[in-house]
Structure formats: structure tokens, C-alpha cells
Amino acid sequence: MQKEELVVEVIRRLEKVYPNKLELNFKNPFELLIAVILAAQTTDAKVNHVTERLFKKYKTPEDYLRVPLEELQEDISSINYYRNKAKYIKGACKMIIEDYGGEVPKSIEELTRLPGVGRKTANMILYNAFGINEGIAVDTHTARVSKRLGLTEEEKPDKIEQELMQITPKEEWGKLSNLLILHGRYICTAKNPKHKECVLYDLCPSRES
DNA sequence: CTCCCGATAT
DNA sequence: ATATCAGGAG
């Protein structure tokens, strides 16, 4: 099967299993931005635990700039890399106010200028907050699952994203990102993948024979 | 490439 | 005890 056909079939099957949405809780683009910055190398469950309180205290970019750095660090201290992430959040809020009129920007180029926001994070925001398919979010899950399926042989996230974009209809880019991440989280895990529960089993070159 | 960080798995 | 893990910055 060609990669182009394979990816369409993968999407068709996975969207029956998983809802096409994040497990991060958010009510608007700005909350999603904060949540995905916190989510680097961290479980969604932990992020949700912190943001439940955080989003009651901080509603706007100005709110995050008003408090001392130490106070924001304390408010997110149960998250990995909380010192860096507190700095990223403050930096991002400052840039949103000064450069983007107080609104979360809607392009890859602008989003990745924000501290703590790389291509993966930017793509998550674009699709899940705005419905924009500008790229594919490649994290450790996306990379692992697409390599196992034979969708790509690339190793570096940027190259993987380029190949996935080439073989996938553009209107499916964001959906594919969300589905591969969920499948990698729950079924196609790094260790002991759950072959028996995998709806892609018969399509997968990496399955146990 | 190294650093940032702590929960969870082994 | 220690290895691993939902990235990004310098």
C-alpha cells in the first residue's frame, strides 16, 4: 500500500476509536497556549491538575505579568521544568501584549517566536484553538507511531513532519496529529505496545508475526 | 550537545 | 536506586 493510501486508512480507523480532541482542558486559545507550554515532557493529567487552579487566578496575559516570577513558579511548581516554564509564560505574555495586540497569534512563524513554543506546540495551538491546518505536530508519540507504521523512515522531527505533510491531505493534518498522539499514548506505547488492542494491527509492518 | 525538573515504572 | 518520559532553549 502506498503511504498516501495508508495514512488515509489510518485516520479512518483511528477516528472511530478516539475523539478528535485534546485531553488538555482549556476554554479559549490563550488558555490552550498556557496549557501546551506547561505540557512539554509532562502528562496532560498533571497539566490539567495545575491549570484548574491557575486559570481561576490568571485570566489574561496582563495577569501573568503582574505577579513576581517567584509567585508564578510557585503556582506551577508541581510541573516539570517549572522554573523555565514560568519564564516562558511571562515572556510569551509580554510578547502577546507588545507585538500581537493581546491576542494569541495564528501563524507558525509568530507562534514559534513565543518562548516555550516550538513547532510541535505551535501546531497543536493552531489546529486545536483555531482549526488551522498549517503543519503536523510531531512529538515522541507521533514520531514513534508513524515510524512503526512505515509512514516515514526519517528520524528528526522536522523531517518527519515534512514527510507526513507530503503524504497526508492538508485538511487532515491537525486531525492526524491528535489521533497519532492518542494512539501512541494508549496503544502504540514505547514499551510493550498493545498489539492485541490495536485497530491498525493488520496494516502495521512492525507487528509481531 | 546540555540543561531544565519531578512523577512513575522497573 | 535508577531509567524513562506529552519539548524547547541556549
List pLDDT tens digits, range A118-127. 999 999 999 9
The reply to whether A139 belongs to the active site is yes
Q: Tell me the pTM.
A: 0.94
Domains defined along chain A, listed by start? 3-20+135-203 (1.10.1670.10), 29-130 (1.10.340.30)
Give the model confidence (pLDDT) of A40-91 as tens digits. 989 888 899 899 999 999 999 999 999 999 999 999 998 999 999 999 999 9
Contact (Cβ atoms closer than 8 angstroms) between residue A65 and residue A90: yes
Question: Which positions on chain B have an atom < 7 Å from some protein CB?
Answer: 4-7, 10
Q: Is A145 exposed, middle or buried (0-12, 13-18, 19+ CB in 10 A)?
A: buried
3-state helix, strand, coil in chain A (%, to 5): 60, 0, 40
Q: Is the CB of A209 under 7 A from strand C?
A: no
Q: Is the CB of A113 under 7 A from strand C?
A: no
Specify the pLDDT at position A204: 93
